[in-house]
Chain A
Amino acid sequence: MSRIGVFVCHCGENISRTVDVEQVAKAAGEIPGVAFSCDYKYMCSDPGQTLLKKAVAEHKLDGVLVAACSPRMHEKTFRKAAEAAGLNPYLCEMANIREHCSWVHEDRDMATAKAKDIVKLMVERVRKGKSLAPITVPVTKRALVIGGGIAGIQAALDIADAGHRVVLVEREPSIGGHMAQLSETFPTLDCSQCIMTPKMVDVANHPNITLFTYSEIEKVDGYIGNFQVTVKHKARSVDESKCTGCGICMTKCPKKKIPNEFDQGHGMRPAIYVPFPQAVPNTPVIDRENCTMFQSGKCGVCAKVCGPGAVDYEQQDTFTVEDVGAIVVATGFKLYTIDRKPEGSPIQGYGEFGYGTIPDIIDGMTFERLASASGPTGGKILRPSDGKEPKQVVFIQCVGSRAREKGISYCSKVCCMYTAKHTMLYHHKVHDGQAYVFFMDARTPGKGYDEFWRRAVEEEEAVYIRGMVSRMYQRGDKIVVMGSDIQVGVQVEIEADLVVLATAVQPQDGADLLAQKLGISYDKYNFYSEAHAKLKPVECATAGIYLAGACQGPKDIPDTVSQASAAAAKVMTLFAKDKLERDPVVAKVNEKYCVGCFACKKVCAYGAIEEKEIRDRQGNLVKKVAYVNPGVCGGCGTCQATCPSKSIELDGYTDEQIMAMIEAL
């Protein structure tokens, strides 16, 4: 027989005004297994708590029910008091007779009857309750950052500066990402590389950061505090430990006419190359698909000219396993292309813009490279087809974005601002040129943003036309842009020398595959999903994994940096303690009866359920059962409701507790 104590609170008059607390206490005392019951003016006050503690000792109580306000108000208070009295805190419960009773009912008799019922139900819950101990999970204080753009760099630097070790993994041969490609940045028009490259160098020199470029995530095991991440280091064909970065291999490489990805294909690079002069690390990589040595077995010039003997044609992909406690995902974005899209793709190309076959229709990133002093034209705005300076440039916003019929309904957020910036850069470089912008809306929320946009329109002479472009085609060396000006209500036709499309921001290729490895969720566009749109914008639903930058959704640089620092702060919070303490309201599996249908695994939103093999002493497989990782379980109990045999049970909300409460109805 249990020995439960029931304490009925008056809450001053808040409860006792409509509920006869004495009667409730008396009725509680008559419930079998209730060893003590009383009522008191303010249970949460010091004397009230002392009363509870004394009663636990005097009456040897093995469970406590405080009938008072909402548990959301004072459950912690009373659980602490119970714990101080030597009881397990989870054996202390609250019956809500204030918010759910005295405050919402006027009829004293009925309210009292209801309060008695609530107490009766909750006594059953206490009776069937179990002692629970907080779950502790050890934490490896080392973080993994995936992606070496500005988001990943910022997060890595912040975490490293806090004194924790960081592994930064970048898929390309250099870190820097898209920000390194930009010419000048809004709204201040400062040179992107001038502010970016010092950070890249900081990463390379930071004692706490291990940098893996030209590497990818192969596999992710483990859970918060304890991830084991397999990193694939793609063969560079250049030994990083030997290479001095002198660059002679690149100057001597006979194959020099390969379109440079960094310049959006508009500059050329050799087969052995660094993506751009300020690359970090400054170690070249051989593009095996374009290297004569790899394609025909003849050449070997780079190996011959390399003083330290760093070129290694035999190099293989290698794998390392990194133990980390937290992961920041910062894989960034790519730009939508107007090309014809593969069959079955939900996203459509732009036939009306010639599907990308007209050479002088370029995207915003290409324009960045044209405007960049380090770009293929040395910072001169010259059009790709014939290298002439364009005198009429048309900028088109929302290409792909906010175009449901093209398969993307979201706003790419940065295009309004960078298009305004482009018109300014163009105006600064081509004084007699004219920029036109087709736009739906100008969305400029952000510090100094609207002022910047107005400057483009009012001072830098860009002509903004509200409307969409319906068709573009080549006529001679001009591009005819046919659109509408919906404000004036007329059709517009412009003969442009160059057209710049503000194409939609999309997640990087393979974002979905990485998400599957990480066990995080993503939306229909493959943007990663945060745990809560408002209150957990940085955390993934999977504990210990955080998001930074445009992989979560289109973002500009200030937002990206903010989120990266926020993700870093989350990681530091996690690393602040040696052990992670979690609420013990988690699911447990009864391995004896689990038959391994894994319905629980299928419904678990946390990926907390794994398959576990049960073997006999000879090592023969007896069966597979579910196993709940208590470090990951969120405690929703969906698994238990799904399990046909109830072989998985949520502590704190067991079937026994709930059924006992229903029986007491």
Chain B
Amino acid sequence: MHVEVTKHDFEPKIVAFVCTWCTYAGADLAGTSRMQYPPNVRVLKFPCTGRIDPVFILRAFQKGADGVLVSGCHPGDCHYMAGNFHARRRFAAFRALLDFVGVDLNRLQFSWVSAAEGGKWVDVVTELTERVRTMGPMPEFKELEHEEQWSGAINTPELKEAYDSIG
């Protein structure tokens, strides 16, 4: 059952925040069913999407993620009754915020993948990976990581003097 493996110029880094009861189990099912999907995704397991803090997504982007997936149980299926309902509102708001500051929301995917939806997991991960691959690396947050407060250029005599005096 060997498939041709295509080499790409760009391998995006995809981070998936998933709940343990539905999506993690769905990803397990994809494994036991020997489905194939791009190996770019790194899965972080949470008890529930309700536990996932927007800060984590932010941090993932800062740490070089080119795409982020958040996935949990379908509404009504939450192992903890309502965690995914709270998450849904939280991320609806967070998306709006990211959009407003100019983050391309195509890099941030939300999905409901149940423990029975191994196929959907594969679809979601593949689609996000390929979409991000065509978009290329996410420069925004990574650039910020490397930027300093001023332009970075030592372009005034005062700065030059200060810089030289550091020794």
Taking a contact as CB atoms under 8 Å apart, the answer to whether B60 and A636 are in contact is no
> For the complex, what is the distance from the CA of A658 to the CA of B59, rounded to whole Å?
10
Residue of B with least CB distance to A636: B80
Contact of B136 with A by CB under 8 A: no
Given contacts A103-B32, A107-B5, contact A638 B59 (CB under 8 A): no
Q: Which of B39-47, B104-112, B155-163 contacts A (4 or more CB under 8 A)?
A: B39-47
> For the complex, what is the distance from the CA of A265 to the CA of B82, rounded to whole Å?
44
Taking a contact as CB atoms under 8 Å apart, the answer to whether A103 and B83 are in contact is no
Taking a contact as CB atoms under 8 Å apart, the answer to whether B59 and A650 are in contact is no
Residue of B with least CB distance to A655: B53
Residue of B with least CB distance to A541: B81
- Give the contacts of B35-71 with A (CB-CB under 8 A): 35-37, 39, 42-48, 50-53, 56, 59-60, 63-65
Complex interface bits, B1-21 against A, C-beta within 8 A gives 1, otherwise 0: 011010000010101000000
How many Å from the CB of B43 to the closest CB on chain A?
6
Residue of B with least CB distance to A638: B50
Taking a contact as CB atoms under 8 Å apart, the answer to whether A662 and B59 are in contact is yes
Which of B30, B36, B42, B47 is in CB contact (< 8 Å) with A585? B47
How many Å from the CB of B23 to the closest CB on chain A?
11
Taking a contact as CB atoms under 8 Å apart, the answer to whether B83 and A636 are in contact is yes
Given contacts A103-B34, A117-B42, A658-B44, contact A531 B56 (CB under 8 A): no
Taking a contact as CB atoms under 8 Å apart, the answer to whether B51 and A636 are in contact is yes
Q: Which of A51-59, A93-101, A151-159, A229-237 contacts B (4 or more CB under 8 A)?
A: A93-101
Taking a contact as CB atoms under 8 Å apart, the answer to whether B86 and A642 are in contact is yes
Taking a contact as CB atoms under 8 Å apart, the answer to whether B42 and A665 are in contact is yes
Chain A residues lying within 8 Å of B3, measured Cβ to Cβ, are 106
- Give the contacts of A111-139 with B (CB-CB under 8 A): 111, 113-114, 117-118, 121
A96, A640, A641, A661 — most chain B CB neighbours (10 Å): A641
Chain A residues lying within 8 Å of B78, measured Cβ to Cβ, are 636
Contact of A316 with B by CB under 8 A: no
Contact of B139 with A by CB under 8 A: no
Which of B15, B42, B45 is in CB contact (< 8 Å) with A114? B42
Contact of A584 with B by CB under 8 A: no
> For the complex, what is the distance from the CA of A288 to the CA of B48, rounded to whole Å?
54
Residue of B with least CB distance to A657: B44
Taking a contact as CB atoms under 8 Å apart, the answer to whether A640 and B82 are in contact is no
> For the complex, what is the distance from the CA of A529 to the CA of B126, rounded to whole Å?
37
Taking a contact as CB atoms under 8 Å apart, the answer to whether A638 and B39 are in contact is no
> For the complex, what is the distance from the CA of A111 to the CA of B44, rounded to whole Å?
17
Chain A residues lying within 8 Å of B138, measured Cβ to Cβ, are none
Contact of B28 with A by CB under 8 A: yes
Contact of A104 with B by CB under 8 A: yes
> For the complex, what is the distance from the CA of A663 to the CA of B145, rounded to whole Å?
13
A71, A107, A637, A642 — most chain B CB neighbours (10 Å): A637
Given contacts A541-B81, A662-B63, contact A641 B51 (CB under 8 A): yes
Taking a contact as CB atoms under 8 Å apart, the answer to whether A103 and B81 are in contact is no
Chain A residues lying within 8 Å of B80, measured Cβ to Cβ, are 605-606, 634-636, 638
Given contacts A100-B31, A638-B50, A658-B56, contact A665 B15 (CB under 8 A): yes
> For the complex, what is the distance from the CA of A585 to the CA of B21, rounded to whole Å?
14
Contact of B27 with A by CB under 8 A: yes
Taking a contact as CB atoms under 8 Å apart, the answer to whether B39 and A105 are in contact is yes
> For the complex, what is the distance from the CA of A607 to the CA of B81, rounded to whole Å?
12
Taking a contact as CB atoms under 8 Å apart, the answer to whether A662 and B44 are in contact is yes
Taking a contact as CB atoms under 8 Å apart, the answer to whether B51 and A653 are in contact is yes
Which of A99, A635, A642 is in CB contact (< 8 Å) with B47? A635
Taking a contact as CB atoms under 8 Å apart, the answer to whether B63 and A665 are in contact is yes
Interface range, B side: 35 or more
Chain A residues lying within 8 Å of B39, measured Cβ to Cβ, are 101, 104-105, 107, 110-111, 113-114
Which of B52, B53, B83 is in CB contact (< 8 Å) with A605? B83
How many Å from the CB of A499 to the closest CB on chain B?
39
Taking a contact as CB atoms under 8 Å apart, the answer to whether A665 and B13 are in contact is yes
Residue of B with least CB distance to A113: B39
Taking a contact as CB atoms under 8 Å apart, the answer to whether B47 and A650 are in contact is yes
Taking a contact as CB atoms under 8 Å apart, the answer to whether B47 and A653 are in contact is yes
Which of A72, A113, A121 is in CB contact (< 8 Å) with B28? A72
Taking a contact as CB atoms under 8 Å apart, the answer to whether A636 and B48 are in contact is yes
Taking a contact as CB atoms under 8 Å apart, the answer to whether B34 and A640 are in contact is no
Chain B residues lying within 8 Å of A70, measured Cβ to Cβ, are 24, 28, 31
> For the complex, what is the distance from the CA of A111 to the CA of B42, rounded to whole Å?
11
Which of B28, B53, B56, B59 is in CB contact (< 8 Å) with A100? B28
How many Å from the CB of B164 to the closest CB on chain A?
35
Taking a contact as CB atoms under 8 Å apart, the answer to whether B82 and A118 are in contact is no
- Give the contacts of A239-295 with B (CB-CB under 8 A): none
Taking a contact as CB atoms under 8 Å apart, the answer to whether B47 and A104 are in contact is no
- Give the contacts of B81-126 with A (CB-CB under 8 A): 81-83, 86-87, 90, 122
Taking a contact as CB atoms under 8 Å apart, the answer to whether B30 and A99 are in contact is yes
> For the complex, what is the distance from the CA of A634 to the CA of B78, rounded to whole Å?
12
> For the complex, what is the distance from the CA of A650 to the CA of B48, rounded to whole Å?
11
Chain B residues lying within 8 Å of A189, measured Cβ to Cβ, are none
Taking a contact as CB atoms under 8 Å apart, the answer to whether A118 and B48 are in contact is no
Taking a contact as CB atoms under 8 Å apart, the answer to whether B31 and A661 are in contact is no
Contact of B25 with A by CB under 8 A: yes
Taking a contact as CB atoms under 8 Å apart, the answer to whether B48 and A638 are in contact is yes
Given contacts A104-B34, A636-B83, A637-B48, contact A72 B63 (CB under 8 A): no
The 9 A-B residue pairs with the shortest CB-CB distance in the complex, in nearest-first order: A99-B31, A637-B51, A638-B50, A636-B80, A636-B48, A103-B31, A605-B81, A605-B82, A99-B28
Known: A101-B39, A662-B15. 16 other contacts (CB 8 A): A70-B28, A104-B39, A106-B5, A106-B36, A110-B39, A603-B82, A605-B80, A605-B83, A638-B51, A638-B83, A641-B87, A652-B47, A662-B44, A662-B60, A665-B15, A665-B60
* 25 A-B interface contacts by CB (under 8 A): A72-B28, A99-B27, A99-B30, A103-B31, A104-B35, A105-B36, A105-B37, A106-B3, A603-B86, A605-B80, A635-B47, A636-B78, A636-B80, A637-B46, A637-B48, A638-B82, A638-B87, A641-B52, A641-B90, A652-B47, A655-B53, A658-B46, A665-B13, A665-B15, A665-B60
